[in-house]
Structures are given as structure tokens and as C-alpha cells.
Amino acid sequence: MITEHALTKSCRRGQPLRVLIVGAGGNGSAVLLGLPYLHQAMKVWGHAGGLHVILVDGDPVSETNCVRQPFAAADVGLNKAVVLINRVNLFWGLRWQAHPEHFHKDSLRNNSAGPHLVIGCVDTRAARQAILSVVTRANDSTLYWLDLGNNASSGQYVLGQPLNAANRRNAVRLRTVAELYPEIADAEAGEDPLPTCSAAEALERQEPFINQVLATSALAMLARLFRYGSLTHHGAFYNASTGRMSVLGVDPGLWKKIQKRTRKHSLAR
């Protein structure tokens, strides 16, 4: 039965909401470019300070990135996170931060003020495993983990509350993408083929606008959560070939079915 998730009280304080985006590729760049609108809206809704965003990515811009990501030829060779954060800060007058490095399991150990929300926009199981290992540490205080992922013509976004110092085990805690679909963060399962260096092949492997659809839908979900303080869904699955969006309800019964089905599929492999 679908129930309602109430916004964690720690997010209702007057301080800025700290957001960490891991990955500045197709999904990460689309999310980042949409977050200033959420920042502005939250300030209007009374969330003093709005958002403070940190973008983490160690990769440089390649020529192929310029085909379906918001980079220009002049950006080639520069760090993705630095390029995007500088652009956003200059346009919006913000002081968001770029960390030009790859995210790893010790990335937040020396950060006294950890993120309230981690947004994972990565395309490998190993990268998701790194995020999972950080946000589920016993002493970690991450409140939410939003994961976005996609393939050629479909994708998903899932908002969860990782088990850690901030989120205790209970029946209505939002399950994370790794709890519902463990294989997505199983580095031992192997990786999908890496992105191609050919622009034409890149468009064959991933249709345009998948990233924008997922990012906009995920941000719309966050906007409702921060404005109204509750959600009845915490994710969705989008299929570009059919145009259908299927939501993932806040439904403990459904979570159990998904986990049971996932375990059965894993045992059958």
C-alpha cells in the first residue's frame, strides 16, 4: 500500500541544504544546470540559504562530450566539474564548488560538514559502490541519496535514505537503489561497455534528451519534497521508445516484492 514519506526534519532548518553531485557527465551536468532554479525557488519558499552545491568529477572534457553534453570545443581538455561550476557561478552569482577529482570511499572522511543530499550521476557499478560505501558508513550523516542512471533509450532515478547515523532502520525508510537493485552497485558483476570515442557511435548508444528527461523529473520530485514536505513516490523509470514514465511508489510492500524478485533473479544466474 502506498504511503507518504515526510521530509527529514534536518532539512527544514534555516541553513543551506548541502548537495554533493558525483559525476559531471550527461546526467550530472543536466542536474547541475537545473539546481539553480530549485535554489531560487527554495529561497522563495522560506528555506534560508537555498542550496550549496559541490560537483565532483575527475574527468576532462573530450570532443565526444560536446555532442550531447553542455560543453563547447573551447572546453576540451579542461576539467568537467570546474567548467560547469564556473559557468553556473558566473551566470547565477553563486559560490558553488568544484572538486576536480574522482570520488572514492574516503572522499568525505575529512569533511566536517557532510552533504545532506548526495546525487549520484555515475555510469559504472564501481562508482556506485564507492558512493554506497560512503553513505552507509555508521558515522555518516547523509540524509538522502538520489541515484540517476540510464542506457540507450531508458533510465531511472531513485531517492533513498541510506542506513547510517542519520537514518535508522524502520519500515518506511526510503529504500536506496542499491537495496532494491543490488546488482547496480556490484562491482564484481562486471561493467557495461565504456563510452565510445566516436560521436556517431555515442548517439547510437544513447539517444539525445534521456539525461534531460531524467534530471528534470528528479528535480521536480525534489522540489515537491522541499516545498510540501512529503512524497508518495521516490523515483521513476522512463522509456524513451514508448514515452512512458512508471513511478516507484513509497510502498513497503512493493519494496519487499522488488527485493524478493531481485534475490531470485540473482540466485538463478
Give the Cα separation of 5 and 224 in Å (integer): 12
214, 239 contact by CB (below 8 A): no
Query: Which domains, from first to last, does the chain contain?
Result: 9-268 (3.40.50.720)
Give the Cα separation of 223 and 50 in Å (integer): 12
CA torsion angle for 152, 154, 160, 162 (degrees, to 10)?
-30
pLDDT tens-digit map of 200-256: 455 455 778 999 999 999 999 999 999 999 999 999 999 999 999 999 999 999 999
What per-residue string of b and e applies to 172-194 under the rule 16 or more CB within 10 Å gives b?
A: ebbbbbbbbbeebbbeeeeeeee
- Helix, coil or strand: residue 228: helix
Give the Cα separation of 64 and 18 in Å (integer): 31
Report the pLDDT value the prediction gives residue 111, as an integer from 0 to 100. 59
Q: Which parts of the chain sit beneath pLDDT 70?
A: 12-13, 109-112, 190-205, 265-269
Residue 254 grid coordinates: 512493493
Residue 236 grid coordinates: 521513476
